Amino acid sequence: MLGRTANGLFWMFRYLERAENTARLLEAGLRMALTRDLITAEEEWRSVIHAAGESRAYRAKHGTYTGIQVWNHILRDKDNSGSVLAMMRQVRTNARAVRNAISGELWRVVNESWMQLDDALLRPVTQGSVGDVIALVKRAGTLAHGAMANSMLRDAGYNFARAGTLVERADNTARILDMKYYLLLPSLSYVGTPLDSGQWDHVLRSVSGQRAYRWLNAGQTDPRGIVQFLVLDERFPRSLAYCHSLLQQNLESLSKNRKEGLESTGLIRRSAARLGDLTVGQIFEQGLHEFLVEFMGCNARIALAISDDYRFQR
Amino acid sequence: MSGAAQTFDEMYDADGAVRPAYADYAAWFEAQEPGWLRRKNQETEGVFRRTGITFNVYGEDAAEERLIPFDMIPRIVSAAEWRRLSRGIEQRVRALNAFIHDLYHRQEIIRAGRVPERLFRDNAAWLPNMVGFTPPGGVYTHVVGIDLVRTGPNDFFVLEDNARTPSGVSYMLENRETMMGMFPELFTRSQVETVSDYPMRLARSLAACAPPGTMGKPVVAVLTPGIYNSAYYEHAFLADQMGAELVEGSDLRVVDGRVAMRTTCGYEPIDVLYRRVDDEYLDALTFNPESVLGVPGLMDVYRAGRITIANAPGTGVADDKAVYSFMPDIVEFYTGEKPLLPNVETFRCADPDSLRYVLDNLAELVVKEVHGSGGYGMLVGPAASKREIAEFRRKLVARPENYIAQPTLALSTCPVFTRRGLAPRHVDLRPYVLVSPNGIEITPGGLTRVALKKGSLVVNSSQGGGTKDTWVLKD
């Protein structure tokens, strides 16, 4: 497989994952805003902007954090190169560039999703339609993953596509978790209050994990349980342990017939092994924030190593 | 357009009776409910849009992708007509290859005084690097598109030879897929020759042209300028269907005397490069130094006999419109036979007598730039305003050698589906031909282009033309 094609597949799925996660983040924000008074809603929207990494760009244009401004900025603002619309365009552009490495089915669902979304985002998104747009984005991801699972050859291309998804997903989960710890809680005195648990609920919703978590924990919402769930539970498809354990499988399969050891394979082995041995106690001992920053750095190094090992560029 | 009454209609004869080749189809069509046909017609755009069968338009927003309009009434060619056409096409393609070989070697046709020397000397597509070099297998034009027009029951003319990088074959294939998807019952009623094996034949034909030293199964790759090229859809489609890699210039470099592509496991040599990049961009070391679309050093590898380039560089020397006017002589010179397919009568404006005639009759003629393509830079006399004619007259007088002129033919028409029912529109036909040392293969059918505007003679997609499925019936 061409290095450029591998790169295209990897980024096609990174952008798809990022767009989907952004939609989930928005969905969680929307729900929180509906259940709070205006002021707290403002705080929720601010945190959504922050989690999306859009604080600076947003402040340059807007003075207030109203829902309609926030979701239009995130979904379709022309000046926002990280908007959902821009990301989905990247998904399609990458898919076009690697068309002969993906199945016809996958291409068609990506193309159709893009057409629908492009159409839905032609005009500003109103309160009445924001839910539909979010559903469209999530559906785009579901369709693409489904088409891939059902029709793509399990060869290098599949592994690069999966690697893109998992690297991005791990980063997103870590970022949302970190954001909660540092930004949402005004001060430590809130720990354990209804506001606190409401925000943890927000975090779970952002990764579509609220139902799974409740199922596993019989409704007990506490920081330890949630960190255990989002970082270490290999059953949850957005946990860090799940992402890196699967990523290890993809990278092992890619490097199977290589004579020399590859940097990316070494890095993922170490990370997956570490997450496998870790306990929640150890994470809190190190400090959740410190742990997450270290994890995100390691995740980024793995992505870079994949790009070097498989000649994505030159 | 002189004498609309003489226009040959492919489906109906002068009395309005259905021609034999269309009998089955017409019976089916009559039996369909009009509302249902209209709904089917509306569906087609969605099908193409979803599948992403698009072409990019230069000069517009880079992301702008357009659909080529598709008309759902097939153009039908009988088995007997096709046999006659194929013989003519094969003869012409054999002559084209012999002609290019001769131009880059002994130039016997020039010594024999059958064509003038200026034909290659003034030709922008002439490549001195190719002189004395014979491509692997002796093939210059591996993929050829011969544009044909029809004026009567037995009157087919060659309008143009596309010997460098003919495009549109993906539309031929997708049009058929679309028709089979929308009207499956039609294909059980009529026995239509298949076109869908074209990519497989192309792969086989290209592999058969691999250079002599090739070990094992030849590695074939399609070279595209990238996703913003107007024909990118086709490049990706063909690579996909052939199971070949789709490469860009940035993926390639010369490694150990071979052209190799950067794979995830290192550089892997390529044996056959089906390039969809023009000559001048192929090799920055030999041609345009600014080009990033090609591979620096490609021509050295080529001349060392270590890669096949399809079509061969310098092939364009044969599909110049000035060369076209000599094609009857060229065919006769190399095959020893009279051409089976005539040319459209062509006036070379470089010749003073012809120029005078052309200037006197501009309103009746089609004038084309010798090196132009895609319907740009041409004058369609009968459709032009007085001002346009006057403007063209100035251009002609300034650079007569830059133009040829042809009478406006009464191009045949084929019905298209409109909101008010069937309506005749002018068509042409581009069959696709594959050449390898093993022989010449012609896919039964081709791309029918149709002028969607009433009365228009311009069928180019860049000028708003559409396409139709083309059926060659089995006996």
Say if A314 is an interface residue toward chain B (CB within 8 Å).
Answer: yes
DSSP B21: G
CA distance A129 to chain B (A): 24
CA distance A110 to chain B (A): 9
pLDDT for A211 equals 86
Closest CB to B248: pick one of A4, A6, A314: A4
B49 contacts in chain A (CB < 8 Å): 115
Structure tokens at B417: 């589906």
Say if A308 is an interface residue toward chain B (CB within 8 Å).
Answer: no
Say if A221 is an interface residue toward chain B (CB within 8 Å).
Answer: no
Residue of A99, A255, A265 to mutate for B, most B C-beta atoms under 10 A: A99
Q: What is the mean pLDDT of residues B122-141?
A: 94
Q: Do B248 and A254 touch (CB under 8 A)?
A: no
pLDDT for B376 equals 61
- Does the pLDDT at position B387 exceed 70? yes
- Residues of chain B above pLDDT 90, percent: 75
Round to whole Å and give the CA distance between B313 and A68.
58
Q: Do B262 and A3 touch (CB under 8 A)?
A: yes
List where CATH 3.30.1490.270 sits in chain B: 345-408
Say if A258 is an interface residue toward chain B (CB within 8 Å).
Answer: yes
DSSP A231: I
A9 contacts in chain B (CB < 8 Å): none
CB A15 within 8 A of CB A98: no
B260 contacts in chain A (CB < 8 Å): none
* B153 CB-contact burial (10 Å; exposed 0-12 / middle 13-18 / buried 19+): exposed
Structure tokens at B163: 């010997």
pLDDT for B420 equals 86
Round to whole Å and give the CA distance between A11 and B412.
50
pLDDT for A97 equals 94
List where CATH 3.40.50.11290 sits in chain B: 212-306
Phi, psi (deg, nearest 5) at residue B286: -105, -40
CA distance A81 to chain B (A): 16
Say if A216 is an interface residue toward chain B (CB within 8 Å).
Answer: no
Structure tokens at A138: 């999530």
A2 contacts in chain B (CB < 8 Å): 245, 247, 251, 261-264
Structure tokens at B196: 């869908």
pLDDT for A188 equals 53
Size of the A and B interface in Cβ pairs below 8 Å: 58
Say if A6 is an interface residue toward chain B (CB within 8 Å).
Answer: yes
pLDDT for A264 equals 98
Task: Tell me how crowded residue A80 is: count the other CB atoms within 10 A of its CB.
Answer: 19
Q: What's the CATH code, domain B212-306?
A: 3.40.50.11290
Q: Which residues contact A281 (CB under 8 A, 6 or more apart)?
A: none
A93 contacts in chain B (CB < 8 Å): 227
Phi, psi (deg, nearest 5) at residue B116: -75, 155
Structure tokens at A42: 């403002």
Closest CB to B264: pick one of A6, A112, A115: A6
More confident residue, A187 or B13: B13
Q: Do B251 and A115 touch (CB under 8 A)?
A: no
Say if A305 is an interface residue toward chain B (CB within 8 Å).
Answer: no
With 0.95 as the threshold, say if the pTM is over it.
Answer: no
In order of B196, B206, B273, B315, B444, the CA distances from B203 in angstroms are: 13, 5, 11, 20, 17
Q: Do A258 and B265 touch (CB under 8 A)?
A: yes
Residue of B264, B276, B292 to mutate for A, most A C-beta atoms under 10 A: B264
HSE of B409, CA atoms in CB hemisphere, 13 A: 24
Give me the residues of B, 311-370, that contact A with CB < 8 A: none
Candidates A91, A10, A22; CA nearest to A53 is: A22
Q: Do A1 and B264 touch (CB under 8 A)?
A: yes
- pLDDT band, residue B438 (cuts 50/70/90): very high
pLDDT for A176 equals 87
Tokens 């079509």, residue?
Answer: B311
pLDDT for A280 equals 92
Round to whole Å and give the CA distance between B55 and B71.
17
pLDDT for B381 equals 86
**What is the predicted ipTM?**
0.87
- pLDDT band, residue B461 (cuts 50/70/90): low
Closest CB to B264: pick one of A99, A100, A311: A311
CB A114 within 8 A of CB A95: no
Say if A103 is an interface residue toward chain B (CB within 8 Å).
Answer: no
Burial A108-144 (b: 16+ CB within 10 A, else e): bbbbbbbebbeebbeeebeeeebeebbebbbbbbebb
Closest CB to A96: pick one of B50, B227, B239: B227
Say if A11 is an interface residue toward chain B (CB within 8 Å).
Answer: no
Render pLDDT for A224-265 as a digit per residue (tens, 0 to 9).
Answer: 888 899 999 999 999 999 999 999 999 999 999 888 899 999
Candidates B435, B455, B330; CA nearest to B383 is: B455
- Residues of chain B above pLDDT 70, percent: 95
Q: Do A311 and B227 touch (CB under 8 A)?
A: no
- Does the pLDDT at position B65 exceed 80? no
B230 contacts in chain A (CB < 8 Å): none
Q: What is the mean pLDDT of residues B294-316?
A: 96
Radius of gyration of chain A (CA): 19
Say if A59 is an interface residue toward chain B (CB within 8 Å).
Answer: no
Q: Which residues contact A256 (CB under 8 A, 6 or more apart)?
A: none
CA distance A101 to chain B (A): 8
Least confident of A188-202, B103-117, B210-224, B293-307: A188-202
pLDDT for B282 equals 94
Q: Do B239 and A2 touch (CB under 8 A)?
A: no
- Does the pLDDT at position B4 exceed 70? no
Round to whole Å and give the CA distance between B157 and B345.
9
Render pLDDT for B329-362 as a digit per residue (tens, 0 to 9).
Answer: 999 999 999 999 999 999 999 899 999 999 999 9
Burial A2-21 (b: 16+ CB within 10 A, else e): bbbbbbbbbbbbbbbbbbbb
pLDDT for B62 equals 46
Instruction: For residue B48, give the chain A residue with the closest CA.
Output: A108
pLDDT for B193 equals 97
Instruction: For residue A113, give the chain B residue with the closest CA.
Output: B50
Q: Do A96 and B236 touch (CB under 8 A)?
A: yes
pLDDT for A215 equals 84
* pLDDT less than 70: residues of chain A: 38-40, 181-197, 219
Task: Tell me how crowded residue A71 is: count the other CB atoms within 10 A of its CB.
Answer: 28
Say if B422 is an interface residue toward chain A (CB within 8 Å).
Answer: no
- Does the pLDDT at position B172 exceed 90? yes
Name the pairing type of β-strands B466-472 and B447-450: antiparallel
* A29 CB-contact burial (10 Å; exposed 0-12 / middle 13-18 / buried 19+): buried
Round to whole Å and give the CA distance between A11 and A17.
10
- Does the pLDDT at position B3 exceed 50? no
B52 contacts in chain A (CB < 8 Å): 96, 107-108, 111
CA distance A89 to chain B (A): 10
Choices 3.90.226.10, 3.40.50.300, 3.30.1490.270, 3.30.1330.40: CATH for B345-408: 3.30.1490.270
H or E stretch at A169: helix A156-179
CB A30 within 8 A of CB A67: yes
